[in-house]
């Protein structure tokens, strides 16, 4: 008798499952839109604060450099951001210093640490509103790339964690999986971002007039102006004024009186390199410790 009841129950369960499946509404798959894409800056556009700062902070918690170094770096970023000072000579010196520190570090170490630190520190700092904008492009069948001065290895980790297409970032030269201490080209900052987007568009067959670019900084005006549609996200004062003048969309996901400008350092060109100095120093220590 028990077996008969059990079979009847199983049969009813199977019927219920079949009925539910039959009643389910299946949305048709999104047709890929291969000529349109979206390009997102990272620091203070996709993420609160500077990605390289959060990376350096994660390294600090691992004892790879002390909190005094981290504090000095944070203050330096804030000063450069508030002054808007991106003296080419300062950028060149900071870049060379960062490269000297990172020379000899393993690419695999950077990627592994980037994944760990993203999950620990960065994930909760993604702007929900910006993430939703990126998802809307994906839902339309468009590809979505991050475009940032952050090292490309870290940029790729962020893109992967967010389910995006990929990332364009600053490329450091490597040999046999080891950083040589030289850049391939220059920092992906300002006009270099626009050149990277233009090169990607040629390679992928994108129609830039149908593409959308997002950023918080006037430093990214070359990239924003390159796309057919530009959106200012959490904009600085110069970008906000430019966006209003050119009827660009403006979206601000910050709360309070621009609290993020003081709560967390925000990387512009020099800030991103300064972060590389701190992170590079820590990676250098890691490299020495493993030898």
Active-site residues, by number, are 41, 43
Tokens representing 69 are: 């170094």
Q: Which residues pair with 230 in a beta bridge?
A: 213
112, 115, 120, 125: CA torsion to nearest 10: 150
- List strand residue ranges (DSSP E) for the chain, in order: 37-40, 143-151, 166-170, 172-175, 178-183, 212-215, 229-233, 249-251
- Please state whether 30 falls in left (phi above 0), alpha (psi between -120 and 50) or beta: beta
- Distance of alpha carbon 213 from alpha carbon 28, whole angstroms: 28
Angular region, 84: left φ>0, alpha ψ -120 to 50, beta rest: left
Distance CA 250, CA 224 (A): 12
């Amino acid at each position: 008798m028990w077996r008969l009841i059990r079979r009847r129950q199983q049969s009813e369960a199977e019927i219920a499952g079949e009925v539910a499946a039959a009643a389910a509404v299946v949305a048709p798959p999104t047709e890929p839109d291969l000529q349109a894409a979206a390009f997102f800056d990272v620091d203070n556009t996709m993420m609160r604060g500077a990605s390289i700062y959060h990376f350096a902070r994660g390294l600090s918690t691992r004892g790879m450099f002390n909190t005094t170094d981290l504090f000095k770096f944070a203050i330096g970023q804030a000063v450069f951001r508030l002054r808007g000072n991106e003296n080419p000579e300062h950028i060149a010196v900071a870049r060379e210093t960062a490269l000297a520190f990172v020379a000899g570090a393993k690419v695999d170490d950077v990627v592994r640490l980037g994944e760990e630190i993203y999950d620990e520190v960065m994930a909760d700092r993604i702007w929900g509103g910006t993430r939703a904008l990126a998802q809307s492009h994906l839902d339309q069948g468009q590809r979505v790339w991050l475009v940032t001065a952050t090292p490309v290895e870290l940029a790729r980790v962020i893109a992967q964690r967010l389910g995006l297409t990929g990332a364009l970032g600053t490329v450091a030269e490597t040999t046999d999986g080891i950083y040589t201490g030289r850049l391939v080209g220059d920092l992906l900052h300002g006009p270099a971002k626009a050149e990277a987007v233009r090169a990607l568009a040629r390679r992928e067959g994108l129609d830039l007039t149908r593409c959308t670019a997002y950023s918080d900084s006037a430093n990214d005006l070359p990239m924003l102006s390159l796309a057919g549609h530009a959106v200012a996200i959490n904009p600085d004062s110069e970008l906000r004024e430019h966006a209003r003048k050119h009827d660009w969309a403006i979206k601000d996901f910050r709360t309070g009186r621009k609290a993020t400008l003081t709560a967390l350092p925000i990387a512009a060109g020099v800030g991103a390199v300064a972060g590389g100095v701190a992170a590079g120093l820590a990676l250098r220590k890691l490299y020495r410790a493993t030898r």
